[in-house]
């Protein structure tokens, strides 16, 4: 996402710098070389050029996804600037009327350039400008992939193994955005659902997720992944057409379009913004799925939730069926889960506010994540690291709370060289070959695995605390 500000005065440039500094990378175009030097010395990314020439914008790689903010101080040349921007491919154009004379010619300008949106100085602060720009960029991005998918006969929306509410809801939302049916846009997974609450959601909302073989991936004209990135599937998928995810970006694949926002608490929040940006009708079923997914993935805003998650939740609440959500949630404590809680407790180690356990052979990954969440509720526990073996792979779930929240950094530091490792500050996951783990850390039985992982976590926290103390000393 790029933002180009075309301005004529230093005051407006400084105001826009303040208004946009937390939102987007911004480049400034000014005609005066003297002004360009002053702005550059003030830390702005600025170039000098003629804003009335098309080639000026072509040299800046202007494209339909570039947001252009153009200052209108009621001086001559505005129409030539707008024509040059349009000829260079610009479609997201905002004109900032900085005085009464500029505001008076809004109707005249909009008649000639209907794609232009006018803003007043009052809209620069308090969030409206960032909201407007953000929605415009999202709309342009969605419209691009809508056109790209339009001529495909069969579309696959691929979810991760044993898809959870966030994956299913996001897949359902993407199908709506693409204006397709379940016959022309299939929700698929390479491993079917097993968790009771996920099956309950799929049944109650009539969400059909098809289990498929790796060979079937080549049968589709377009492939999109939601709530997961292609690296998750290893060598099976090195190129896709669209990726939408809220997990940290991963290398090892190519995509025609991607929207990855690791700061968001759920992919369903991203999908809600996509739906709203192109005014797609959101049915009660889709709203219910998205609302339940946001609530589930953020633990009802107790984990990795942002202002955007809260806004999406508020928007969806009036559209969703709250009674159905309560039925889907049901009772999360089952006998199966209770047995694994007891097993983890017996094999676990709690020391220095870190709880670690190795559960041995485990039927499903979701049980490991559930146990990690469960023990984080214990008094005097700030980190939980639960490991188990699923299909010959060591699966590790990490959770934390408090001030030292860098779970993703921990798993990447110690396990990224062995397999897949990544996550957010408060939750992370590693999936590595058990033999490779044993060879690297010289461990054999379950107790030695627990002790090694616990020691790694404690050492990691000590190093982090020492680094923070050094930073504080430098500040002091």
DSSP string covering 246-291, please?
SSPP--S-EEEEEEE-TTSS-HHHHHHHHHHHTT----HHHHHHHH
Q: What count of Cα atoms within 13 Å lies in the side-chain half-sphere of residue 298?
A: 27
pLDDT confidence of residue 319: 94
* Residue 331 predicted with pLDDT over 60: no
Cα–Cα dist 434/418, whole Å:
9
User: pLDDT tens digits for 277-306?
Assistant: 888 899 999 999 999 999 988 876 666 678
Q: Closest Cα to residue 464, out of 396, 380, 383, 386?
A: 383
72-86, 402-416, 449-463 — which one is most confidently predicted on average?
Answer: 449-463
Q: Are 217 and 237 spatial neighbours (Cβ–Cβ below 8 Å)?
A: yes
Q: Residue 394 pairs with which residues in a beta bridge?
A: 389, 432
Q: Closest Cα to residue 257, out of 243, 268, 271?
A: 243
Burial of 302 (0-12, 13-18, 19+ CB in 10 A): exposed
Phi-psi region of 15 (alpha: psi -120 to 50; beta: other; left: phi over 0): alpha
**CA of 170: how far to CAs of 183, 230, 273, 303, in Å?**
17, 16, 11, 19
pLDDT confidence of residue 121: 66
Q: Are 224 and 243 spatial neighbours (Cβ–Cβ below 8 Å)?
A: yes
Lookup: tokens for 374? 């469960």
pLDDT confidence of residue 451: 95
User: pLDDT tens digits for 340-387?
Assistant: 999 999 999 999 999 999 999 999 888 999 899 899 988 889 999 999
* Residue 19 predicted with pLDDT over 60: yes
pLDDT, the chain, mean: 88
Q: What is the CA radius of gyration of the chain?
A: 26
Helix axes 284-297, 307-317, angle to 10 degrees: 150
User: pLDDT tens digits for 185-235?
Assistant: 999 999 888 887 888 899 999 999 999 999 999 999 999 999 999 999 988
Confidence band, pLDDT 50/70/90 cuts, at residue 439:
very high
Name residues whose C-beta falls within 8 Å of residue 437's C-beta, 6 or more positions apart in sequence: 394, 415, 418, 443, 449
Lookup: tokens for 242? 């669209």
Cα–Cα dist 430/428, whole Å:
7
**CA of 428: how far to CAs of 340, 397, 416, 420, 470, in Å?**
20, 6, 12, 11, 26
Cα–Cα dist 38/11, whole Å:
12
Confidence band, pLDDT 50/70/90 cuts, at residue 119:
confident
What is the H or E stretch that residue 137 is in?
A: helix 128-150
pLDDT confidence of residue 326: 81
User: pLDDT tens digits for 63-113?
Assistant: 877 889 898 877 888 999 999 999 998 888 888 887 777 788 888 888 888
pLDDT confidence of residue 403: 59
Residues in the chain: 476
Beta strands at 383-390 and 393-400: parallel, antiparallel or unpaired: antiparallel
Beta strands at 3-6 and 185-189: parallel, antiparallel or unpaired: unpaired
Confidence band, pLDDT 50/70/90 cuts, at residue 148:
very high
3-state secondary structure 20-47: HCCCCCEEEEECCHHHHHHHHHCCCCEE
Cα–Cα dist 300/303, whole Å:
8
pLDDT confidence of residue 1: 59
Full DSSP string of 362-426 = -S-HHHHHHHHHHHTTSTT--EEEEEEEETTEEEEEEEE-SS---HHHHHHHHHTTTSEEEE-SS
Confidence band, pLDDT 50/70/90 cuts, at residue 125:
low
Burial of 469 (0-12, 13-18, 19+ CB in 10 A): exposed
pLDDT confidence of residue 388: 96
Terminal alpha carbon distance of the chain: 37
Domains and CATH numbers, the chain: 3-132 (3.40.50.720), 151-329 (3.90.1640.10), 335-469 (3.10.310.30)
pLDDT confidence of residue 356: 97
Q: Are 70 and 6 spatial neighbours (Cβ–Cβ below 8 Å)?
A: yes
**CA of 306: how far to CAs of 79, 173, 263, 269, in Å?**
40, 20, 7, 10
- Rounded to 5°, the CA angle 382-385-390 comes to 155
- Three-class SS state of 223: strand
Q: Closest Cα to residue 237, out of 149, 158, 145, 175?
A: 158
The Cβ of residue 415 has, within 10 Å, a number of other Cβ atoms equal to: 26
């Amino acid at each position: 996402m790029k933002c180009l500000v075309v301005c004529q005065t230093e005051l407006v440039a400084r105001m826009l710098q303040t208004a946009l500094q937390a939102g987007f990378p911004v480049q400034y175009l000014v005609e005066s070389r003297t002004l360009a030097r002053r702005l550059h010395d003030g830390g702005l990314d600025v170039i000098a050029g003629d804003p009335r020439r098309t080639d000026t914008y072509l040299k800046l790689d202007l494209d339909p996804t570039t947001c252009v903010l153009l200052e209108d101080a009621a001086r001559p040349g505005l129409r030539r600037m707008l024509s040059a921007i349009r000829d260079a491919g610009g479609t997201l154009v905002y004109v900032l009327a900085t005085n009464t004379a500029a505001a008076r010619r809004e109707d005249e300008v909009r008649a000639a350039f209907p794609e232009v949106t006018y803003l007043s100085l009052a809209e620069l602060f308090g969030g409206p400008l960032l909201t407007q720009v953000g929605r415009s960029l999202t709309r342009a991005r969605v419209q691009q992939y809508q056109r790209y998918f339009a001529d495909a006969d069969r579309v696959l929306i691929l979810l991760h193994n044993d898809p959870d509410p966030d994956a299913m809801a996001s897949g359902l939302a993407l199908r709506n955005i693409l204006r397709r049916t379940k016959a022309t846009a299939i929700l698929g997974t390479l491993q079917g659902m097993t968790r009771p609450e996920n099956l309950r959601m799929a049944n109650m909302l009539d969400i059909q997720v098809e289990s498929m073989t790796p060979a079937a991936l080549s049968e589709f004209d377009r492939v999109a992944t939601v709530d997961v990135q292609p690296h998750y599937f290893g060598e099976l998928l090195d190129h896709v057409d669209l990726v939408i995810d809220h997990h940290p970006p991963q290398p090892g694949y190519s995509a025609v379009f991607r929207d990855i926002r690791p700061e968001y608490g759920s992919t369903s929040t991203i999908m809600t913004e996509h739906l709203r940006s192109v005014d797609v009708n959101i049915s009660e079923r889709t709203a219910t799925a998205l609302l339940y997914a946001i609530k589930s993935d953020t633990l009802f805003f107790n984990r990795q939730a942002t202002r955007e998650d809260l806004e999406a939740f508020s928007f969806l609440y009036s559209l969703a069926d709250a009674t159905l959500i309560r039925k889907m949630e049901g009772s999360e404590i089952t006998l199966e889960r209770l047995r694994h809680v007891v097993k983890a407790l017996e094999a676990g180690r709690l020391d220095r506010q870190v709880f670690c356990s190795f559960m041995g052979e485990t039927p499903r990954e979701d049980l490991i994540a559930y146990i990690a969440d469960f023990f984080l509720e214990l008094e005097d526990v700030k980190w939980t690291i639960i490991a188990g073996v699923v299909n010959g792979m060591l699966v590790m779930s990490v959770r934390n709370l408090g001030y030292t929240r860098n779970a993703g950094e921990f798993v990447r530091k110690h396990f990224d060289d062995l397999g897949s490792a990544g996550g957010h500050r408060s939750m992370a996951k590693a999936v590595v070959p058990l033999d490779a783990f044993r060879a690297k850390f010289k461990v054999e039985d379950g107790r030695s695995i627990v002790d090694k992982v616990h020691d790694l976590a404690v050492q990691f926290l000590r190093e982090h605390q020492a680094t923070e103390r050094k930073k504080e000393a430098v500040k002091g």
